[in-house]
Amino acid sequence: MPKLNENYLNLKQSYLFSEIAHRVAAYQEKNPDKPVIRLGIGDVTRPIGKKVIEKLHEGVDALGAAETFKGYGPEQGYEFLRNAVVDYYAENGVSIDAGEVFISDGAKSDTGNITDLFAQDNVILIPDPVYPVYVDTNLMNGRNITYIDANADNNFLPMPDKNVHADIIYICSPNNPTGAAYNKEQLREWVDYALANDAILLYDSAYECFITDETLPRSIYAIEGAKKCAIEFCSLSKTAGFTGTRCGYTIVPKDLKFMSSTGVEMSLNAMWNRRQTTKFNGVSYIVQKGAAEVFSKEGMAECRENIAYYQENARIIASTMEKKGVRYFGGINSPYVWFECPMGMESWEFFDYMLEKIQVVGTPGAGFGENGKYFFRLTAFGTKENTIEAMKRFESLF
């Protein structure tokens, strides 16, 4: 009999968004005539821009001709896309090297897979509430997690405690689920803390394209010293509508070097390269052709139009919260609005209540951690019509 990874016994029975989908499907089966509006999972609804679509088509055509056919691509991604990412960072004043860019099928996979590079006995610091992938992937590997409180008192932006040591720290900014975004000074404190503790920051910047406040950093590398202590994950899912297409990138600086227990210097860039070349065969040429176009002037302009559309939805949700006197966070510099459940309800109770009474689906804060127990998340990624209708129904709820 195989001995199984019993760490799986420590996980909740299903992944948060699978649980939500399951509950909604059960409701719909019983109430087929009730129109449900889904503002739960942060899945985009706008079509991919025309320029990017053209390049995806070009990618398909290239595979149909012997002269341009492509088989296995480089596991790290094609040079044209890695260079496009380098240029994108340069436009934001951050210098990285193409050899530090690893193209992947998304930030979800990479934030999970990165755990391969670390030993069991690290002190892992994860904010609560948080994107569940960070927690679940560490639990799957049997690691202990130390939680750091994100709550209304610290505006859901926890800061390092100099008296507590950590080896690995997860940060997501703009944050999923709370929508809170760190400023430069706050990130500087985290970088200083990581450098002082010989720790590493795992920085998820999947929502950087929603930052409108130009004083806010869009990359951890905007902070001096970060290349010595941070890996950054980013994604085209929300920037370019690639949730189904799948493409993201991870920056692993060459300066990230730590000593092994036997005194051998180990490079995280080399380790990640070794991991990817062994376990991953790259993203399809077609998708990478489209992805590179995202970073062109015209491609990005199209993405910006879609992002502005979602930002307007976020504004509509936030203004409804204001009208109803509901305390909320996010909605600016973020596609998520995180609010306190009305009537003192707990978040799963409020989930069921909304579904039953107004057929609007959101995400219960408890799914992101203990501190989310009385909070709820709505996404701005729906259609404008659905967002307006959902908020109309929300206004009538209490």
DSSP state of 372: G
Backbone angles phi, psi at 224, to 5 degrees: -60, 135
- How far apart, in whole angstroms, are the C-alpha atoms of residue 65 and residue 51? 22
Cβ atoms of 248 and 105 within 8 Å: the answer is: yes
Q: Pattern of binders to ligand MLT over 60-79, x per CB under 6 A? A: --------------------
Q: What angle do CA 51, 208, 155 make, to 5 degrees?
A: 150
CB 368 to ligand MLT: min, Å: 8
Q: Segment 219-278, which members bind ligand MLT (CB under 6 A)?
A: 237
Stretch near ligand MLT under the rule CB under 6 A, chosen from 39-47, 86-94, 118-126, 150-158 = 39-47
Residues 181-201 as b/e (b if ≥16 CB within 10 A, e otherwise) read: bbeeebbbebbbbbeebebbb
Asked if residue 41 binds ligand MLT (CB under 6 A), the reply is yes
Q: Which residue's CB is nearer to ligand MLT, number 42 or number 364?
A: 42
Kindly state the DSSP code that residue 4 receives in the 8-state scheme: P
Give every CB contact of residue 64 below 8 A, 6+ residues apart in sequence.
none
- Cβ 314 vs Cβ 331: under 8 Å: yes
Size of the site for ligand MLT (CB under 6 A): 7
> According to the binding rule CB under 6 A, does residue 108 interact with ligand MLT?
yes
Cβ distance to ligand MLT smaller for residue 131 or 328 = 131
Q: State which residue, 43 or 149, has the beta carbon closest to ligand MLT.
A: 43
> What are the C-alpha distances in Å from 326 to residues 123, 197, 338?
37, 39, 10
User: What length is written for the chain?
Assistant: 398
CA separation for the pair 302, 304 (Å, rounded)? 5
Tokens of 95: 């210098």
Instruction: Report d(CA 334, CA 177) in Å as an integer.
Output: 10
Strand 101-104, strand 200-204: pairing: unpaired
In order, the DSSP letters of 93-118 are: T----GGGEEEES-HHHHHHHGGGGS
Which among 377, 100, 106 has a CA at the least distance from the CA of 240?
A: 106
Asked if 333 interacts with ligand MLT (CB under 6 A), we say no
Asked if 38 touches ligand MLT (CB under 6 A), the answer is no
Q: What track of x and - describes contact with ligand MLT for positions 122 through 161 (by CB under 6 A)?
A: ---------x------------------------------
| Distance of alpha carbon 95 from alpha carbon 84, whole angstroms | 12
Q: Which window, 37-45, 51-59, 186-194, 268-276, contacts ligand MLT (CB under 6 A)?
A: 37-45
Contact between 98 and ligand MLT per CB under 6 A: no
- Minimum distance of ligand MLT from residue 277's CB (angstroms): 25
Nearer to ligand MLT, 23 or 188 (CB): 23
CB of 196 vs ligand MLT, minimal distance in Å:
31
Residues 190-229, one symbol each (x = binds ligand MLT by CB under 6 A, - = not), give ----------------------------------------
Q: Which lies closer to ligand MLT via its Cβ, residue 111 or residue 269?
A: 111
Helix, strand, or coil here: 130? coil
Q: Cβ 17 to ligand MLT, closest distance in Å?
A: 6
How far apart are CB 363 and ligand MLT at their closest, in Å? 7
For ligand MLT, which stretch binds (CB under 6 A), given 2-10, 40-48, 87-95, 189-197?
40-48
Q: Point out which residues pair with 128 in neighbouring strands.
A: 149
**Phi, psi (rounded to 5 degrees) for 144:** -85, 145
Q: State the nearest-atom distance from the C-beta of 41 to ligand MLT, in Å.
A: 4
Q: What are 172's strand-pairing partners? A: 204
Q: Does 176 bind ligand MLT (CB under 6 A)?
A: yes
Task: Choose between 51 and 108: whose C-beta lies nearer to ligand MLT.
Answer: 108
The SS3 assignment for 359 reads coil
Q: Which of 39, 42, 294, 338 binds ligand MLT (CB under 6 A)?
A: 42
CB 270 → ligand MLT: shortest distance, Å? 28
- The residue whose two tokens read 């009474």 is 357
335 binds ligand MLT (CB under 6 A): no
Query: Minimal distance in Å, beta carbon 198 to ligand MLT?
Result: 30
Q: Measured from the CB of residue 147, what is the shortest distance to ligand MLT in angstroms?
A: 18
Where on the chain is the footprint of ligand MLT (CB under 6 A)?
41-43, 108, 131, 176, 237
